[in-house]
Chains A and B, each alone.
Chain A
Amino acid sequence: MVFSEAKRYYVERRVVERMSATGSGTFASYFARLRTDAQGEIEQFVNAFTVNETYFYREDHQLKCLTTDLLTERLRHKRKGDSIRIWSAPCSTGEEPYSVAMWLLENWPLVDEYDIEIIGSDIDTAVLEAARAGIFGKRALMRLTPYLIEKYFAPMGEENWQILDELRTSVQFSAANIVELNETRPFGQFDVIFCRNVLIYFDDASRRVAAENLFENLLPGGFICLGHTESMSRISPLFEVRRFADAIVYQRPAGST
């Protein structure tokens, strides 16, 4: 993560939060705690800097593209019963991978004919715990119809809903920093990766490393979906641009080994 001078206030606010949470009276004492990683402070510090606000069916044009075009292409290389692997990285509190699962159940008639594996990953271990718990507030559900909320969620009091156990246990969550090859390589290769709104937080060198990691994590011919303001073409020439009716996505060339 890289923060320019314009983000000074953002950084200061989070350092002050962590100083307060750890009872550090001065920056020097907090910094000493951070440097020695006392009680896992480095992880807490990283968690404080990640942006986790998202919601179900965000940028759903990419979900349309997934079922209309991307999976159709991927199926050319598969037989019924084969696996289809989809990775949401970063997944924050789980809205994206659960959205993919719900979208497939609702919109893809072939959903029962393949073994579909959906994995959510994030560097922030606290949000992964929240994702596993699958409890969401009103704001996260704002783009879902009452039908979808009733079908896939159980109310928890007035303000919260929990995603159904059956769906909650269908999605796997696991920590990963997409800039670290040793953390991404164990996930193997995917048909589709959703990597939205994270590369913008990296410096140029980290972006290139992340792009190369993601390239390795795609099967030849696999697709990567970025956020609508992001462009892989500005980061790395490894991928081919594919323009579909609903979205522009990037593809690992089918011929690359």
Chain B
Amino acid sequence: MPFVRKPTGQSPGPVADASSILGNLISGAADERWAAARAAADVPGAVTTLAAALRNESDSRVREAMFTSLARIGTSESADLLISFLRSDSANLRAGALDALRITIGGMPELLPRLLGDRDADMRILSCDLARILPSPEATTLLCTLLAGEPEANVCAAAIDVLAEVGGPAALPALAACAQTFHDNPFLVFAIKTATDRINSHHSSSRA
């Protein structure tokens, strides 16, 4: 047989102490930053250092590991940091923060209503996408509440897009009201009709 067996019980490597993990996050070589980013979730008080490190991190692999650690930390402090990155001019930081928030919001139910009520329309648009991971009744309630008072057509479009995918029949009145409010916006009228048809068809096939 051409197969070989070798001992696999190598040591996982030395365990770095908290101060060297935090130090490496900022000033280590790429591999050290990667290892530190992965270990940071278990280091008390790492959020502040992760925030500073993320702003300057150029290696996409390390950046992903930092976002994973922030998602694992899952405190209001780490969530606030992720939200601050949603406001960033950097698309990389916005995308990474959005992915991490998808993980975080499951354990922090107060977070998404707050984001959907943000004063910045771009934040509300990004936040609509986070509702995709919620159970249908919860996503429907949150997005219908948003639609009821939303003045920006682009935010409504984002909410309608998510409702078309995960919304239940309870969304139909809010969609109809939105169609009336934006009756002079052909795209929204079309999007609402598509979402309504989809919800009706899902509902009727699940009843059948």
Contacts and interface: CB of A to CB of B under 8 A. Distances in A.
B61 A172 contact: no
A166 B71 contact: no
A172 B106 CA distance: 39
Given A209-B72, A236-B64, A167 B8 contact: no
Contacts of A83: 4
A230 B205 CA distance: 26
A116 B61 contact: no
Interface stretch (A65-73, A133-141, A185-193): A185-193
Contact of A169 (B5, B38, B61, B72): B5
Q: How large is the interface on B (under 10, 10 to 19, 20 to 34, 35 or more residues)?
A: 20 to 34
Contacts, number: 77
A216 to B, nearest CB: 8
B68 A181 contact: no
Interface string B1-38: 11111101111110000000000000000110000001
Interface in A112-156: 112-119
Nearest to B9: A186
A113 B4 CA distance: 12
Contacts of A36: none
A239 B2 CA distance: 30
Contact of B3 (A101, A183, A188, A257): A101
A188 B2 contact: no
Interface string A214-241: 0100000000000000000000111000
B51 interface: no
B8 A187 contact: yes
7 contacts: A105-B2, A116-B4, A172-B8, A186-B9, A212-B38, A236-B64, A257-B31
